[in-house]
Chains A and B, each alone.
Chain A
Amino acid sequence: MGGQPLLLTVITFLPLLSVVALLLLRSDDHLWIRRIALAASLAEFAVSLLLLRGFDASNAAYQFTEYHHWIGEAIHYHLGVDGISLFLVLLTTFLTPLAILCSWESIHTNVKGFFVSLLVIETAMIGVFLSLDLFLFFVFWELTLIPMYFMIGIWGHGRRIYAAVKFILYTMFGSILMLVAILWLYGLSGTFDLDGIQQYLTVTPLPHTTELLLFGAFFLAFAIKVPLFPLHTWLPDAHTEAPTAGSVILAGVMLKLGTYGILRFCVPLFPSGAAEMAPLVGVLAIIGIVYGALVATVQTDLKRLVAYTSVSHLGLVILGIFAFQATAIQGAIYQMLNHGVSTGALFLSVGMLYDRRHTHEIKEFGGLATPMPVLMSFFLFVALSSLALPPLNGFIGEFLILVGTFLDHHVWASLAASAAVLSAIYLLWAYQRVALGEVTVEKNRTLPDASKRERIILVTVSLAILFMGIASPLFTSRMEASVSNVVTRVRASVNMPQSAIGRETPSASFVKAILAREQQ
């Protein structure tokens, strides 16, 4: 679109290009490796901001599209961005420089390999968000695995090998069945192109069992990635054993590949399958929300605690998607972004503690606000954003999801709302045990407060949190067209009433009033 025909290709492959530059450097030249990696990721962020300038918020179609033949007649290099993927790309390019900065001093071995892995992951993740060809999508999807596998396995802690292998086997199991489903779709429609398949499926509805099987194959792959209860068991291990940057990328972006996939492929391609399975998925999501929160509460390992919050928060995102309401889905996308920034920030703070004490055990901390007031204040701020305190970012997302879900599913929404209470319990309790009271471990008295580099990281994420809390319409307005497009399509194909807001139920008019106030 417009004068930037190659913008998406540049955004996708710029990190990979900088990998080439890194490979040319001498392996022991750590300083320059770090500098170039950081410069490349910042440049990438700057370039990705260009997307905002040319993006047309009123257009529900894919923008900046690129379309070239690749293999044979059926497989194309097809990229495009819409309101659903736009901010996820920005989230990726925003978090990568922070991940690089936070590894500045904590990574000593094989520094080059580390930053190469990080940048390859960035390319792969952006590729997943931008691909509009199922083959291309799958290539990028699988490409995210290997560098993350190395990242956990080489630079991780403790049981890193176990965690790395578990991570990769779980994900591969899901994705290989998705590959079969992709091939099946190709066999039916004769194309790998998302638009082409969409058109085919609109014209020729699938038989009931086929639809359910295909939905199931796609959904399983994504649900493992998210992860949806009960497929979540790889997550605590992977997140806990990964190095800080790995956890930030894993929790910040990689989990969203799953929710994004559900929203981009599962729901629009197989609407009646999705509608049929929605009750089951909703129940699993709610179990995940409550279970993740409860398990997080009893953790003694700070990083594991943060890991379990992801199970809870992403359950909420899935719930929002399967409410099939524009409000809830906007909330779900917004919550993906929030979770990326807030949980990323939590992992960053926990990583800073780890750099100082080389432990994640909560009982090793206590009273840390005394020696390091700055770091602990930021920790509190980030925790508050994660537990959805208004007017921080988490609140908007959770609120939109709950409001949208409430329209059709009062019980779901009420149960899911417990997440707000539970997250306050586990996060504030964790903060209390880590930061407040007397210093319990003697070693902690002399810990240095946040360094200049750490302050840059913390200030950046805090500003993002605040900005996303206050200026949410800047984000949601750009999602609106694409989201309502999806919702309309799903509701039309399963004969649901187009919008519950149209029906004058008490709850609907309540929501309407709130939404009207939101928009003023």
Chain B
Amino acid sequence: MWAGQLLNLHRIAPELHLVVAGIVVMILDPFIGPTRKRWLGWVAFVGALLALLSVHVAYDSRGPAYDNLISTDMFSVFVHAVVIFAAALAILGSLDYLEREGIQRGEYYALILFATAGMGILAGANELVTAFIGLEMSSISTYVLVGFRRRSTESNEASMKYFLLGSFATAFFLYGIAMVYGATGTTYLDKVQAMLEGSGTVPALAMLGLGLIFVGLGFKVVIAPFQVYGPDVYQGAPTPVTALLSSAPKVATFALMLRVFYVSFGMVSEFWFWVIWISAVLTMFIGNLAALVQTNVKRMLAYSSIAHAGYILVAFAASTTLGVAAVLFYLAAYVLMKVGAFLIVTHLGQRGETRLEIQDYAGLGSKEPVVAACFSLFLLSLLGLPATAGFLGKFFAFQSALDSHSTHGTAIIWLVVIAAINSVIGAYYYLRVMVSMYFAEPTEDYVPSSVAPALGFAIFVAAAGTLYLGLLPAQVLEFARTAADSLPLH
């Protein structure tokens, strides 16, 4: 019995590391003077790195953990790696930001670690209530993080909005779980699958439950029609938090969505295919069209996140193993470029986040050539230009979707064409930032501060990763494929 429990501990090693590191930060916090809070950030960073390394421990001892509540398979390993990587970058990006804004505090880092642990649970959950706990852990921590600029009304508003609507969405999720339980008598994802396949039909109650779960999770990954809160929250949150919020929770929640839709409800994929199809089209158009008219870079990137969730849904709609692999690869690529872009905005925002308008970036190409070049790389990757991660993400997403056209017919082909047209619409607003950086004359005398080393390093890692995934994706792609294979699909 004890040996069994210890083995289980291996399987949740990343979460353990994150939670322990978070507690250590909280304990150390009172003993560290206000001028040296920065060290807590480094403690948290080391904790995240250890957690990242411990993903390997989980990898070595794959299998079900805690009475099958958690399933540590390749899929979970992949998502853990991506989520913790994003969190580590966000911590690096926060160190100097908090200093600059005068809000350097220990609990900030602890909250990031707790949120990440929650996302880890989400990624591995094989049971809906466990997933709910993971979702709450990550959500509640991020509610606080969003409001961390306490003196800024924007930040407060964002936090409040996020909290109220988020709780509402979680309630939907919970209600959905209850209905699935009512219909099938179990909350284990694999047992729901076995139950539905055994009976051969899907009761209406279970379908309703799936719909409510879709509402709850759709809110968290910011897809239409639940996207309305997204831009406000992303804009109001401290920028490193936006970097985290737009990447890691999305990855983890998409992972759970994959498990629920593909594993438990894989049988009725022709039903939820249309839900995903409609949501994908709406998400892409709303994200891209709204981004066109933004003048605030942070808000524009927020809408771009929505658009990207739409592209991910295109691969999601494929409902094949190839589709899972494409979603996973896209998520990895997306995290690199999105975190990178938001970290650049963190740097360029300056004290009080005052420089966020597109015209504030005028002349950046000559003033800060390296920063401008990195930002261009992230923007071009978001745009989907070849030789960057974003291109291959789209490429595999479209490929997996087209591959499934024997099951879904012309609908999926149209979806890909719509996605393709959307990525051209997207080109316009990404290029607008580059126009400002390179083509426009600076409107005022403004001397940029130099990039803080930790932030610079995080940006460098994201940029290198974006290029690496764009040029030599074979390894990560293989990893994503084995991860997809490890899901017990219908």
Among A138-180, those with CB < 8 Å from B are 138-143, 145-146, 149-150, 153-154, 160-161, 164-165, 168-169, 172-173, 176-177, 179-180
Q: Does B20 contact A (CB under 8 A)?
A: no
- A20 interface residue (CB < 8 Å to B): no
Interface centre among A140, A160, A172 (most CB of B within 10 A): A172
> Is B402 engaged at the interface, CB distance under 8 Å to the other chain?
yes
CA distance A72 to B438 in the complex (A): 37
Are B424 and A150 in contact, with the CB atoms below 8 A? no
Q: How far is the CA of A484 from the CA of B402 in the complex (A)?
A: 35
Q: Is the CB of B386 within 8 A of A143?
A: yes
**B474 and A184: CB pair below 8 A?**
no
Q: Which residues of B contact A139 (CB under 8 A)?
A: 386-387
CA distance A142 to B394 in the complex (A): 14
User: Contacts A168-B427, A168-B431 hold; do A180 and B420 have CB atoms under 8 A apart?
Assistant: yes
**Residue B181 is within 8 A (CB to CB) of chain A in the complex:** no
- A161→B432 CA distance, assembly (Å): 10
Number of A-B contacts (CB under 8 A): 77
Number of B positions contacting A (CB below 8 A) = 33
B477 part of interface (Cβ distance < 8 Å):
yes
Of A72, A165, A186, the residue contacting B474 (CB under 8 A) is A72
Residues of A contacting B365 with CB < 8 Å?
Answer: 154
Judged by DSSP, the binding face of A is helix
Interface string of A167-200 (1 = CB under 8 A from B): 0110011001101100110110000000000000
Q: Mark B407-419, 1 if CB is under 8 A from A, else 0.
A: 0000001001100
Name the residue of chain B whose CB is nearest to the CB of A139.
B386
Output the least CB separation between B316 and chain A (Å): 17
Cα-based distance from A167 to B413 in the complex (angstroms):
27
Is there an interface contact between B403 and A180, defined as CB atoms closer than 8 Å? no
Label chain B's interface by main secondary structure: helix
Contact check, A179 vs B395: say whether CB atoms are below 8 A apart.
yes
The reply to whether B427 and A169 form a contact with Cβ atoms under 8 Å apart is: yes
Known: A71-B474, A110-B366, A142-B386. A186 touches B399 (CB 8 A): yes
Binary interface encoding of chain A residues 48-62 relative to chain B, with 1 for a CB under 8 A from any of its CBs, else 0: 000000000000000
Determine which of B366, B427, B439, B474 lies in contact with A161 in the assembled complex, contact meaning CB atoms within 8 Å. Answer: B439
Which residue of A has the minimal Cβ distance to B384?
Answer: A176
Please measure, in the bound complex, the distance between the C-alpha atom of A284 and the C-alpha atom of B116, giving whole angstroms: 59
- Check A176/B474 contact, CB under 8 A, given A139-B387, A146-B385: no
| A74 to B: closest C-beta gap in Å | 9
Q: How far is the CA of A88 from the CA of B431 in the complex (A)?
A: 30
Give Cα A187–Cα B318 distance, bound, in whole angstroms.
Answer: 13
CA distance A466 to B478 in the complex (A): 55
Bitwise interface map of B from 166 to 186 toward A, beta carbon under 8 Å scored 1, else 0: 000000000000000000000
CB closest residue in chain A, given B435: A161
User: Cβ of B428 < 8 Å from any Cβ of A?
Assistant: yes
Contacts of A161 in B (CB 8 A): 435, 439-440
B398 at the A/B interface (Cβ < 8 Å)? yes
Chain B proximity of A42: nearest CB distance (Å): 27
Q: Please name all residues of chain B whose beta carbon is closer than 8 Å to the beta carbon of A72 when the two chains form the complex.
A: 474, 477-478
- Taken together as a complex, chains A and B put the C-alpha atoms of A186 and B399 apart, in Å, by 8
Q: Is B423 an interface residue (CB 8 A)?
A: yes
**A160 close to B417 (CB less than 8 A):** no
A interface residue count range (under 10 / 10 to 19 / 20 to 34 / 35 or more): 20 to 34
CA distance A146 to B435 in the complex (A): 12
Contact of A177 among B420, B428, B440 (CB under 8 A): B420
Q: State A186–B423 Cα separation when bound (angstroms).
A: 21
8 A Cβ contacts from B346-399 to A: 365-366, 380, 385-387, 391-392, 395, 398-399
B461 interface residue (CB < 8 Å to A): no
Task: Determine which of A138, A141, A168, A187 lies in contact with B402 in the assembled complex, contact meaning CB atoms within 8 Å.
Answer: A187
Instruction: Give A380 Cβ to nearest chain B Cβ, in Å.
Output: 36
Q: Complex formed: what's the CA distance from A249 to B405 in Å? A: 41
Inter-chain CA distance A177–B365, complex, in Å, is 31
Are the CB atoms of B387 and A187 closer together than 8 Å? no
- Please report the C-alpha to C-alpha distance between residue A139 and residue B385 in the assembled complex, in whole angstroms: 8
A180 and B417 in contact (CB under 8 A), knowing A168-B431, A172-B424?
yes
A70 to B471, alpha carbons, bound, how many Å? 9
- Complex Cα–Cα for A183 and B404 (A): 12
Q: Which of A177-233 contact B (CB under 8 A)?
A: 177, 179-180, 183-184, 186-187
- Contact of A143 with B395 in the complex, beta carbons under 8 Å: no
Q: Select one of A143, A160, A165 contacting B428, CB under 8 A.
A: A165
B421 interfacial contact with A, CB 8 Å: yes
B interface residues, Cβ below 8 angstroms from A: 365-366, 380, 385-387, 391-392, 395, 398-399, 402-403, 405, 413, 416-417, 420-421, 423-424, 427-428, 431, 435, 438-440, 472-474, 477-478
15 new A-B contacts at CB < 8 Å, known A141-B386, A183-B395: A71-B472, A110-B366, A139-B387, A140-B386, A142-B391, A143-B386, A161-B435, A161-B439, A164-B439, A169-B428, A176-B423, A180-B416, A183-B398, A187-B402, A187-B405
The 7 lowest CB-CB distance pairs between A and B, nearest first, are A139-B386, A153-B439, A176-B420, A142-B386, A173-B424, A183-B399, A187-B402
18 contacts between A and B (CB under 8 A): A71-B473, A72-B478, A110-B366, A139-B387, A141-B386, A143-B387, A153-B438, A160-B439, A165-B431, A168-B427, A169-B424, A173-B424, A177-B417, A179-B395, A180-B398, A180-B416, A186-B399, A187-B399
